[in-house]
Amino acid sequence: MQVLRNMVYTVVVVIWVVLDTIVMGSTAIITGFFSEKGNGPHLVARAWAQSILWASRVKVELKGLDNLPSDAPCILMPIHQSNFDIPVLLGRLPIQFRWLAKAELFKIPIFGRGMRGCGYISIDRSNRKSAFKSLADAAQRIRDGASVLIFPEGTRSRDGEIGPFKKGGFVLTVDAGVPIVPIIIYGTRTIMPKGSPLLKPGNAYMEILPPVASSGYTRETKDLLMQDVRDILCTAFDRIREKSL
């Protein structure tokens, strides 16, 4: 019986997400054509995410809002437990931020122009020289005021534990010279497990941790920054998980 309920729940939410994405996605792309900084499309994306949270009946408990810089750019680094992290982050973080995206996506007609209008930052990994130039360009965008969200693990966790971190986000951080804001998300793995076709009703918890200054680190010492951020996230994650058990 519970499986049947989850199947019905999944079908209803998926239909809503598809329709919502068509409407809001088209609106975001069109708005992107007339946006210089991408603020308008981000508000559309936020409405899209909030609509998904409403349709799926997911409540998000949010703590640590005071740790978000209000007047300066930062790099947001949440752990990645589930694809449902996306609507949780977009729907509940009350600041403008941008995503990093592969350069190939920007070459798609119309869609690529819309992405540029949304303020997405292109990362070209075709070769080492292009990759370094992309990081330099992205760092300048951040210094100019654009906050960016990066999943330090690079992909969703398969077992619920925090996975190994990728170095690229920390190279970008020390180049930009802005603080990292670590973020814990808990509960989304239960709602939408990796590898499972079914969604399950539930609630999520998000905690924004104090910023970590990057000014004392360089590219040569970025691994120390990566370990410091990882230690902070692992400690907070263990605390929240033990409290939830």
Comparing 21 with 238, the larger pLDDT belongs to 238
Percent of the chain with pLDDT over 70: 93
The pLDDT, as a whole number, for residue 173 is 93
Distance CA 56, CA 51 (A): 9
Ranked by mean pLDDT, the top range of 113-122, 146-155, 200-209 is 200-209
Query: 99: number of CA atoms within 13 Å, CB side?
Result: 16
pTM here is: 0.89
The pLDDT, as a whole number, for residue 110 is 61
Domains and CATH numbers, the chain: 2-244 (3.40.1130)
pLDDT at 62 over 80: yes
Distance CA 78, CA 195 (A): 20
- Reported as a single tens digit per residue, the pLDDT across 171-221 is 989 999 999 999 999 999 999 887 777 888 899 999 999 999 998 899 999
How many CB atoms lie under 10 A from the CB of residue 158? 11
Among the residues of 56-119, which ranges form H helices?
A: 85-92, 111-117
138, β-bridge pairs: none
**φ/ψ bin of 107: left (φ > 0), alpha (ψ from -120 to 50), beta (otherwise):** alpha
- Which residues contact residue 61 at a Cβ distance below 8 angstroms, ignoring those fewer than 6 apart? 203, 204, 205, 206
